Amino acid sequence: MPQTRALTTPIGRRILPYAMLSPAVIVTLVIVFLPMLQAMWMSLHDYVLFRPKSFDFVGLDNFTKALADPVFWISLRHTVLWIALTVPAQMLLGLITALLLNQQFPWRGLARALVIIPWALPSVVIALMWVWIYDSNFGVLNDFLLRLNLISHSIPWLADPDTALYAIVLTLTWQGFPFFAVMILAGMQAIPSSYYEAAAIDGASSMRQFWHITLPGISGVLLTATLLRVIWVANSIDVIFVMTGGGPGYTTYTLPLYAFIKARTGLDYGYGSALAVCFTILLLGFVILYLRRAGKNIG
Amino acid sequence: MMVRNRSLIRRLLTVDLPMLAVLAFTLAPYLWMALTSITEKSRLFTEGPSLAGATLANYTRLFNTVGFGTNLIDSFIVAGGTVIVGLSLSVTAAYAFSRFRFRGRRLMMLQFLLVNMFPLVLLILPLFILMKTLGLVDTYLALIIANSTVAIPFSVWMMTSYIDAIPRSLDEAAMTDGCTRLGALRRVILPLCMPGIIATAVYIFITAWNEYLYALTLGGRNVKTITVAIQTLIGEYEVEWGLLTAGGIIGAMPATVMFLFVQKRLIAGMTQGAVKG
Dump pLDDT digits (tens) for B95-107: 999 888 888 888 8
Within 10 angstroms of residue B46's Cβ, the number of other Cβ atoms is 7
Query: Which carries the bigger pLDDT value, residue A87 or residue A266?
Result: A87
Does A79 lie at the interface with B, CB-CB under 8 angstroms? no
Model pLDDT, residue A4: 47
Model pLDDT, residue A9: 67
Model pLDDT, residue B220: 85
Are A197 and A281 in a shared domain?
yes
Residues in chain B, how many? 277
Distance from CA of B275 to the nearest CA of A (A): 5
Flag the least confident range among A108-117, A126-135, A250-259, A290-299.
A290-299
Are A31 and A84 in a shared domain?
no
Model pLDDT, residue A7: 52
Q: How many Cα atoms occupy the beta-carbon half-sphere of A245 within 13 Å?
A: 9
The reply to whether residue A295 touches residue B110, judged by beta carbons under 8 angstroms, is yes
Distance from CA of B133 to the nearest CA of A (A): 11
Average pLDDT, rounded, for chain B: 85
Does A60 lie at the interface with B, CB-CB under 8 angstroms? no
Could you read off the pLDDT of B109-148 as tens digits, one per residue?
888 888 878 888 888 889 998 998 899 999 999 999 999 9
Model pLDDT, residue B274: 47
Amino acid at site B41: K
The shortest CB-CB distance from A287 to any of B95, B117, B206 is to: B117
**Contact in structure between B143 and B78 (CB atoms under 8 Å):** yes
Distance from CA of B69 to the nearest CA of A (A): 17
Residue A162 resides in a domain: yes
Model pLDDT, residue A134: 92
Chain A residues whose CB is inside 8 A of the B50 CB are: none
Model pLDDT, residue A120: 85
Query: Which carries the bigger pLDDT value, residue A56 or residue B94?
Result: B94
The reply to whether residue B267 touches residue A225, judged by beta carbons under 8 angstroms, is no
Chain A residues whose CB is inside 8 A of the B11 CB are: 103, 105
The set of residues, in sequence order, having a beta carbon less than 8 Å from that of A173 and lying 6+ positions away, is A86, A89, A90, A93
Over 90: is that where the pLDDT of A257 sits?
yes
**Contact in structure between B151 and B80 (CB atoms under 8 Å):** no
Are A111 and A250 in a shared domain?
yes
Are A36 and A131 in a shared domain?
no
The reply to whether residue A120 touches residue B256, judged by beta carbons under 8 angstroms, is yes
Residue A160 resides in a domain: yes
Amino acid at site A115: V
The reply to whether residue A105 touches residue B16, judged by beta carbons under 8 angstroms, is yes
* C-alpha dihedral, A101 to B249 to B234 to A80, nearest 10°: 20
What are the respective helix, strand and coil percentages of chain A, to the nearest 5? 75, 0, 25
Over 90: is that where the pLDDT of A53 sits?
no
Q: What is the 3-state secondary structure (H, E, C) of chain B?
A: CHHHHHHHHHHHHHHHHHHHHHHHHHHHHHHHHHHHHCCCHHHHHHHCCCCCCCCCHHHHHHHHCCCHHHHHHHHHHHHHHHHHHHHHHHHHHHHHHHHCCCCCHHHHHHHHHHHHHCCHHHHHHHHHHHHHHHCCCCCHHHHHHHHHHHHHHHHHHHHHHHHHCCCHHHHHHHHHCCCCHHHHHHHHHHHHCHHHHHHHHHHHHHHHHHCCHHHHHHCCCCCCCHHHHHHHHHHHCCCCHHHHHHHHHHHHHHHHHHHHHHHHHHHHHHHHHHHHC
- Between B194-210 and B241-276, two packed helices, what is the crossing angle to 10 degrees? 140
* C-alpha dihedral, A123 to A272 to B222 to B258, nearest 10°: -20
Over 70: is that where the pLDDT of A224 sits?
yes
Are A16 and A78 in a shared domain?
no
Are A209 and A243 in a shared domain?
yes
Domain extent listing, chain B = 2-37, 62-276
Q: What angle do CA B62, B65, B66 make, to 5 degrees?
A: 55
Model pLDDT, residue A149: 82
Does B248 lie at the interface with A, CB-CB under 8 angstroms? yes
CATH code 1.10.3470.10 for B62-276: no
Residue A57 resides in a domain: no
Q: Please give the residue range of the domain that contains residue A22.
A: 1-43
Could you read off the pLDDT of A199-221 as tens digits, one per residue?
888 888 888 888 888 888 888 88
Could you read off the pLDDT of A75-108 as tens digits, one per residue?
999 999 999 999 999 999 999 999 999 888 888 8
Distance from CA of B259 to the nearest CA of A (A): 7
Q: How many domains does chain A fold into? A: 2
| pLDDT class of B257 with cuts at 50, 70, 90 | confident
DSSP category for residue A9: S
Over 80: is that where the pLDDT of B48 sits?
no
Residue A54 resides in a domain: no
How far apart, in whole angstroms, are the C-alpha atoms of residue A52 and residue B53? 56
Please return the burial class of A145, using the count of CB atoms within 10 Å of its CB with bins 0-12, 13-18 and 19+: middle
Residue A284 resides in a domain: yes
**Contact in structure between B113 and B157 (CB atoms under 8 Å):** yes
Q: What percent of chain A has pLDDT over 70?
A: 96
Model pLDDT, residue B277: 34
Does A15 lie at the interface with B, CB-CB under 8 angstroms? no
**Contact in structure between B158 and B199 (CB atoms under 8 Å):** yes
Model pLDDT, residue A2: 47
Which residues on neighbouring strands pair with residue A48, listed in sequence order? A268
The CATH code of the domain that includes A156 is 1.10.3720.10
Model pLDDT, residue A258: 92
The set of residues, in sequence order, having a beta carbon less than 8 Å from that of B243 and lying 6+ positions away, is B58, B61, B62, B66, B233, B237
Are A154 and A12 in a shared domain?
no
A222-249 average pLDDT score: 88
Are A79 and A156 in a shared domain?
yes
Over 70: is that where the pLDDT of B18 sits?
yes
196-225 of B, contacting A, C-beta below 8 A? 206, 209-213, 217
Task: Note every long-range contact of B62-68, with CB atoms under 8 Å and residues 24 or more positions apart, other chains counting.
Answer: B62/B243, B62/B246, B62/B247, B62/B250, B66/B229, B66/B233, B66/B243, B66/B247, B68/B226, B68/B229, B68/B247, B68/B250
Model pLDDT, residue B52: 75
Within 10 angstroms of residue A41's Cβ, the number of other Cβ atoms is 14
The set of residues, in sequence order, having a beta carbon less than 8 Å from that of B136 and lying 6+ positions away, is B142, B145, B218
Over 90: is that where the pLDDT of B50 sits?
no
Which residues on neighbouring strands pair with residue A268, listed in sequence order? A48
Model pLDDT, residue B145: 93
Does A168 lie at the interface with B, CB-CB under 8 angstroms? no
Within 10 angstroms of residue B64's Cβ, the number of other Cβ atoms is 10
Are A133 and A272 in a shared domain?
yes
Chain B residues whose CB is inside 8 A of the A235 CB are: 119-121
Q: What angle do CA A23, A28, A30 make, to 5 degrees?
A: 100
Query: Which carries the bigger pLDDT value, residue A170 or residue B191?
Result: A170
Interface test with B, best of A26, A115, A129 (most B CBs within 10 A): A129
B247-273 average pLDDT score: 77
Are A133 and A240 in a shared domain?
yes
Are A7 and A74 in a shared domain?
no
Does B42 lie at the interface with A, CB-CB under 8 angstroms? no
Distance from CA of B174 to the nearest CA of A (A): 17
Could you read off the pLDDT of B187-234 as tens digits, one per residue?
888 888 888 888 889 889 999 999 999 999 998 888 999 999 988 888
Q: How far is CA B106 from CA A181, B56, B89, B101, B181, in A?
A: 29, 54, 19, 9, 22
For residue B182, give the chain A residue with the closest CA.
A20
Are A242 and A135 in a shared domain?
yes
Residue A52 resides in a domain: no
